[in-house]
Amino acid sequence: MAEMINIENIVERIREILDDENIQQLTEELNGYHSADLADIFPELKPEERLLCFKHIEEEKAADMIEYLSPQLQVELLGDIDEELASRIISKLPHDSAADVLGDMEDDDSETYLDKLPDKFSAEVRELLTYNEDTAGGIMTPMVMTVNVDMTVEEVLSHIRVQAEQDNIELYYIYVLDKQNHLLGVVSLRKLLTSSVHQKVEDIMIKDIVKLHVDDFQDYIADVFMKYQYNALPVVDLYNRLKGMITWDDVQDIVEEETTEEIYTSSGISTDVVDEDEILSGNIFKAIRARTPWLFITLIGEFIAVKVGNHFGATLHAVPIIAIFMPLLAGLGGNIGTQSITLMVRGLSTGQVTLSSAMRHIVRETFVGLFIGTLFGVMVALVTWGWRDNIYLGLVVGLSMLINMTMATIVGTFTPFALKSFKVDPAVASGPVIATTIDILGLAVYFTLVTIFLVKIM
């Protein structure tokens, strides 16, 4: 049973071995781990410890590990080790990973490495580097198993034997091309193995295939993979010439990144101008830049709330005590509103909620808001009445709670649909803007009710 490993214990053990300077034991210990485990261990080591350890990992395993590391750590580690070793490691990476690593380096550094790499590999990686890294061209690997449309099954099988031995090619699907490299079809190994060896590949290939274009952006790519659930999809250029293939593990990383961006955006952290990686680490002023815009919008919105409060200055002057219930109303309105926003934004993102079901969700959420609002309104009314011994104050606070919570669910449910139908990403703006809107509306309702019942409350 391959249990998930306990990183802290291992790091401690490695430190002990390093202290003992027992090279043989270190080599055995390190090479005993899966490369994905090593990639979990390395970030926890100090830079000098990493260097000491890295030299003792077999080169194949070291290259595998590099693939699993974060971009920053990849560049840092390769920059710190011997240039010759780094080149050898890079040449062992799949083309797309090599391009990613080199693309993250300074131009001078990546040129140095590209010059040291085998010519064919270097040329192919250079081509990948010409694509935008967020498009299919920048994500794909050019290492694809291709066969000519005229071949028989027998020829294809022996061709695969030769090609698979030469190159580090994944055998997901075999793509069928004409002489000019136009993509004509796809055939699975399963189909090949179960067909008569004399059949033409043309007769057993699937012609109606889902494919991606080199310029397709990563969010679209993720959507296509999520929908059709293939292991791999071919990537073609404008003329339908096969350029490469994207596999599900590339998409995995995209989906994780897209989800992170969706979550960040919903919390008012802008990922448009600042790369998502840089918000947690890297230049702190970029992090500040990502976080300030929506806070500023909130500031403006809350100044409107201040203005609303000021408008009822006379009421506030007459019964200052009403002010202490403001956080209660704002807090619960904000909370239930956030729940509604979250349900709609996430649902729209996964496809569980669609524009055509908008009305149903709005009705449902309104009922939820009314029900919970009534429940909480009654509780708050009773507590306030008991505490301040003023039934009217209790009624006003309770009724405000009911109206505020109901309004919050309606605003929180309606706004994402409205944004979506205007083709605006519902995650954007939803959180902070809706929270502020709820604050302003809730405050206006509360102060209005207080003003109406003023004589009774005083």
Q: Is 200 in the site for a second copy (CB under 8 A)?
A: no
Binding letters toward a second copy, positions 423-452, x by CB under 8 A: --------xx--xx--x---x---------
Q: For residues 86-145, which are near a second copy according to CB under 8 A?
A: none
Q: How far is the CB of 224 from a second copy (least distance, A)?
A: 7
Q: Which of 405, 404, 397, 403 is nearest to 379 (CA)?
A: 397
Q: Is 23 in the site for a second copy (CB under 8 A)?
A: no
Q: For residues 230-269, which are near a second copy according to CB under 8 A?
A: 231, 248-249, 252, 255-256, 259-260, 263-264, 266-269
Q: Which is nearer to a second copy, 23 or 299 (CB)?
A: 299
Q: Which is nearer to a second copy, 129 or 287 (CB)?
A: 287
For residues 337 and 412, is the Cβ–Cβ distance under 8 A?
yes
Q: Is 458 in the site for a second copy (CB under 8 A)?
A: no
Q: How far is the CB of 451 from a second copy (least distance, A)?
A: 14
Q: Which is nearer to a second copy, 52 or 169 (CB)?
A: 169
For residues 146 and 244, is the Cβ–Cβ distance under 8 A?
no
Query: Where does this chain touch a second copy (CB under 8 A) — which range of 46-54, 104-112, 296-304, 449-457?
Result: 296-304
Q: How far is the CB of 343 from a second copy (least distance, A)?
A: 6
Q: Which is nearer to a second copy, 105 or 251 (CB)?
A: 251
Distance CA 131, CA 143 (A): 16
Q: Which of 387, 390, 379, 394 is nearest to 449 (CA)?
A: 394
Q: How far is the CB of 344 from a second copy (least distance, A)?
A: 9
Q: For residues 391-410, which are near a second copy according to CB under 8 A?
A: none
Determine which residue in the list 120, 190, 198, 423 makes contact with a second copy, applying CB under 8 A. 190
| Burial degree of 115 (CB within 10 A; 0-12, 13-18, 19+) | exposed
- Concatenating the DSSP letter of every residue in 51-117 gives HHHHTTS-HHHHHHHHHHS-HHHHHHHHHHS-HHHHHHHHHHS-HHHHHHHHHHS-HHHHHHHHHHS
For residues 212 and 182, is the Cβ–Cβ distance under 8 A?
no
The site that binds a second copy (CB under 8 A) totals a number of residues, namely: 115
Q: Is 203 in the site for a second copy (CB under 8 A)?
A: no
Phi (first) and psi of residue 423, to 5 degrees: 65, 25
Q: Is 377 in the site for a second copy (CB under 8 A)?
A: no
Determine which residue in the list 379, 418, 452, 458 makes contact with a second copy, applying CB under 8 A. 379
Residue 256 CA: distances (Å) to CA of 230, 279, 433: 18, 16, 25
For residues 377 and 344, is the Cβ–Cβ distance under 8 A?
no
What tokens were used for 237?
């250029």
**Cβ-proximal residues to 271 (8 Å cutoff; 6+ apart), any chain:** 261, 264, 265, 279, 290
Q: For residues 322-351, which are near a second copy according to CB under 8 A?
A: 323-328, 330-332, 334-336, 338-339, 341-343, 346-347, 350-351
What amino acid is encoded at 187 in this protein? Answer: V
Q: Is 70 in the site for a second copy (CB under 8 A)?
A: yes
